[in-house]
Structure 1
Amino acid sequence: MTTLSIFSQNEPTTAHTVTSDAAEIQRLLAEQGIRFEQWPTRAFAANASAEEILEAYADDVARLKAECGFQTADVVSLTPDHPDKLAFRQKFLDEHTHAEDEVRFFVRGQGLFYLHLGESVYAVLCQQNDLISVPDGTRHWFDMGPEPEFTCIRLFSNPEGWVAQFTGEAIASELPGYETLTGAV
């Protein structure tokens, strides 16, 4: 279930707000300039190719491209049997920013975005059908968990794709991680 947990950076072990209400999540994130949407499920085979997934969501992707100026869209998938899953997880666990919006639509599975906004950290557990757009310059990190299982559509303004500037801050290690917030082992 999609969940938003809000922590104070000064008391990072206990969330002061937790909600699974999609409308409330959208409202609280919008107040911080974060786009959050839930798109309807589209039909395609379980083993669909990236092209088939992009075709299934072509209208939604085209709308965002026109609205926000994105140039490219691709599909990324990770499964628990991927040999580099630990390296991929580690790559995204440190706080960083981007020079463009980071947009992810979860076609299947889930992942946990942490958004460091002022004195608070918003932990958004995104699941199938959730779209999140983290504005450029927003300090954040992503935790896919120890057994990642997701497929996402990514949209980019920069044709080079994912380029991060790491902040060097340790806050990501101070908050409850994926296993704690999702109950995963």
Structure 2
Amino acid sequence: MSSLSVYHVSFPAQPNKVLTHLEDIASTLAAVGVTVERREASMPLKPGASQDEVLAAYAVQLDAWMTEFACAHAEVTSVVRQDPQKAELRAALLDERRRDTEEVRYIAAGSSLLALHIDDYVYAIRCERHDLIRVPAGVAHWVDIGEEPHVLSISLFKNRDAAASHSSGSDIARQYPGLDD
């Protein structure tokens, strides 16, 4: 089940609010410009599938979403517990970053934790299968795939250059509970 924990930056160990109903999560995030919704798009793929396999399996759905969200580039994150690069990938994803354009993130299988640092708050969203989140341009964020990852996500961007992100230089992600906590 998806959930949202909202933290004040001065108290990273104790959330101010924990929500588990999609309607409550969506309305709380909408207040800060973030869209969250459920989109059923089941394809017979599991975490560990290659980017080419995922893009081929989701081709029809991705074409519709790319038109809807005015995107032209997709990137896949597909990681399983057995992946020999999982620790390096996790460390890279835990680096707080910003993008110059919106990112549309869809969880096709498994789960991950997407944390958004907006003003004096951190919104930690446990993303599950079928969650679609639109992260506005400029929002600082990080992703935790956990120590034993099991996730397949697709991110959509305006173009290939828009997928590039910029590190904030902050180690804030390490101050907050992660996916496994």
Map of 1:127 onto structure 2: 128
Alignment of 1:53-72 (within 5 A): 53-55=57-59, 58-59=60-61, 61-72=62-73
- Contact kept, 8 Å, 2:95 with 2:167, in 1: the verdict is yes
- Contact kept, 8 Å, 2:94 with 2:143, in 1: the verdict is yes
Matched, 1:26 2:26: yes
The answer to which of 84-93 and 71-80 deviates more is: 71-80
Counterpart code for 1:30: A
- Contact kept, 8 Å, 1:95 with 1:168, in 2: the verdict is yes
Map of 2:178 onto structure 1: 177
- Contact kept, 8 Å, 2:111 with 2:145, in 1: the verdict is yes
The answer to which of 101-110 and 74-83 deviates more is: 74-83
Matched, 1:85 2:89: no
CA distance in 1, matches of 2:171, 2:55: 38
Alignment of 1:33-182 (within 5 A): 33-44=33-44, 49-55=53-59, 58-59=60-61, 61-160=62-161, 162-180=163-181
CA distance in 2, matches of 1:74, 1:98: 14
Percent identity, aligned pairs only, is 29
CA gap of 1:134–1:51, structure 2 versus 1, over 3 A, is closer
Matched, 1:11 2:11: yes
CA gap of 1:19–1:145, structure 2 versus 1, over 3 A, is same
Q: How far is 1:90 from its partner?
A: 0.3
- Contact kept, 8 Å, 1:3 with 1:125, in 2: the verdict is yes
Residues matched between the structures, number? 177
Can you list the C-alpha shifts for 1:31-74, whole angstroms capped at 9, x where unaligned?
1111111012425365793244313xx24x33432233201224
Moved over 6 A (4+): none
Counterpart code for 2:38: Q
Map of 1:183 onto structure 2: none
CA distance in 2, matches of 1:144, 1:83: 14
- Contact kept, 8 Å, 2:100 with 2:162, in 1: the verdict is no
CA distance in 1, matches of 2:5, 2:75: 29
Counterpart code for 2:54: A
Can you list the C-alpha shifts for 1:61-116, whole angstroms capped at 9, x where unaligned?
33432233201224331111111000000001121101122221111000001101
Unaligned runs of 5+ in 2: none
Root-mean-square deviation (Å) = 1.9
CA distance in 2, matches of 1:91, 1:4: 22
- Contact kept, 8 Å, 2:101 with 2:162, in 1: the verdict is no
